[in-house]
Structure 1
Amino acid sequence: MSRDATSEQLQGMESTAGYGEAAEALAEQYESVTFAEVHREVLHLFPTRPGTVLDVGAGSGRDAAALAAQGHRVVAAEPTAELRSLGRRRHADQRIEWTDDALPELPGLVAAGTRFDLILLTAVWMHLDERQRTLAMARLAGLLTGGGRIILSLRHGPVPEGRRMFPVTAQETTGLARRHGLDFLHHAQREDPHGRPGVSWTYLGFERDETRDVAGA
């Protein structure tokens, strides 16, 4: 997306724009770094005992496969058919439940009624506009078990041509989480694991208070 693209143009694009056409190359890119390297800032927040995990925007399945290998029951939600197909093939040795579902509403997962001990969103949040982020946080909070956690990463820097991304901040995201009954756990920043110029990341962790009702659930 060029620098002079308007907010209206961005909002008119699909959040998954550009991913289907580049699925093969993107899958190779995702798989070129390990789960542990990508999530090094928040590894201590992941559950140590097997539980239920939702990977939203699972891409090639790198993270879903790593978590399944640790004994978790993993649901991988990926709206791009090409990436979903590649992920199924690449990680066929792991027990991953793939589903075609997407933020902000996650209608299939909400209808299923499953609750998760961990929800992971890697390089997803910046694809949603402000209205969608508000709705998405409510949906995510409602899918957590009591004491369940959300771990997400925020991308900062230039937007690749043909993609839809919005500026996202730790402050706004933390405020949204708190409004939906989630407690702040962790904030970290780091360089891009792929070494792309001008790209950096913020990692955030939140936890659902077991004693508090969740707004929007």
Structure 2
Amino acid sequence: MTRSSNGRSGDGDGDRNGDRNGDRDDGPGGVRADDPHTPAPRDDAASGVQPYYARSAAVLAERYESVSFETVHRDVLHLLPGAPARAADIGAGTGRDAAALARRGYDVVAVEPVRELRQVARKLHDDVPVTWLPGALPALTPLTGPFDLILLSAVWMHLDEGEREPAMRRLHDLLAPSGRLFVSLRHGPLPEERRMFHVSAEETVATAGRCGLRVIHTGANGDELGRDEVHWSRLVLEKGGI
């Protein structure tokens, strides 16, 4: 297991919860997820996180996209599985990380419950092949595995205590044998306008262990946006092989 504690991190304050040939937003069964006549999956109705992100999509895009994937994840880039491989970005926000993974040669599915963020993401990153789906933890209804890599960047602290273990079991089931789950956790004052909880790295590692995932990296960073009161934990978890 590796440990790191250096530099600044943050996911562009990623406090956030097209197909291979074009700009399509496919829901279950190939239905366009942003069709106003198509009922949203049940996951899309999740918690009070959603209204803030829907209202703030344009502003958040500037914030998220101001910090690169390589900067945010620099401590764990060496642990990414080799491409080509299948990757899922859960709570993909405005698509910064999903697009970066696609450019690195991964076959990427990006899952984001907030329609407005998906729309912004597709406009910003229409030059890369990313499949966009609605959905949210713990169910992730539209998503089917297996994945060699799952990215969970600044999402886990949006889940309450009762949601976290079912969510971890779902993530375990979506991973291929020896697949890796990259998790970043925000620590600091809880924002009033967003549903967020205090979740420690130690608790998350324990939950992962109960669900069949072992920790191969732990790290800690400051905030990439310079907020002194916010810091981050970074975990890489691995599913046992066959």
Corresponding residue for 1:24? 58
Letter in 2 for 1:84: R
Distance in 2 between residues matched to 1:13 and 1:94, nearest whole Å: 30
Letter in 1 for 2:50: T
Q: Report Cα offsets for 1:164-209 as digits up to 9, x if no partner.
A: 1000111110011111111110000000011123000000000000
- 1:52 maps to 2:93: no
Distance in 2 between residues matched to 1:131 and 1:16, nearest whole Å: 19
Query: Structure 2: which 5+ residue stretches go unaligned?
Result: 1-45
Q: TM-score, normalised by structure 2?
A: 0.79
Runs of 4 or more above 6 Å deviation: none
Corresponding residue for 1:134? 165
Q: TM-score, normalised by structure 1?
A: 0.88
Letter in 1 for 2:76: V
Corresponding residue for 1:171? 202
Tell me, yes or no, if the aligned pair for 2:222 and 2:228 is still in contact at 8 Å. no
Q: Secondary structure of the equivalent of 1:55?
A: strand
* 1:104, distance to aligned residue in structure 2 (A): 1.0
1:87 to 121, 124, 138: 121
Q: Secondary structure of the equivalent of 1:20?
A: helix
- 1:64 maps to 2:98: yes
Letter in 1 for 2:176: T
Q: Secondary structure of the equivalent of 2:50?
A: coil
Tell me, yes or no, if the aligned pair for 1:15 and 1:128 is still in contact at 8 Å. no
Letter in 1 for 2:231: S
Q: Report Cα offsets for 1:51-83 as digits up to 9, x if no partner.
A: 000000000100000000011000000000000
Query: Structure 1: which 5+ residue stretches go unaligned?
Result: 1-11, 212-217
The aligned length equals: 197
Corresponding residue for 2:136? 102
Distance in 1 between residues matched to 2:83 and 2:115, nearest whole Å: 31
Corresponding residue for 2:176? 145
* 1:160, distance to aligned residue in structure 2 (A): 2.5
2:146 to 112, 115, 126: 115
* 1:158, distance to aligned residue in structure 2 (A): 1.6
- 1:43 maps to 2:77: yes
Corresponding residue for 1:194? 225
Identity among equivalent positions (%) equals: 51
Q: Secondary structure of the equivalent of 2:61?
A: helix
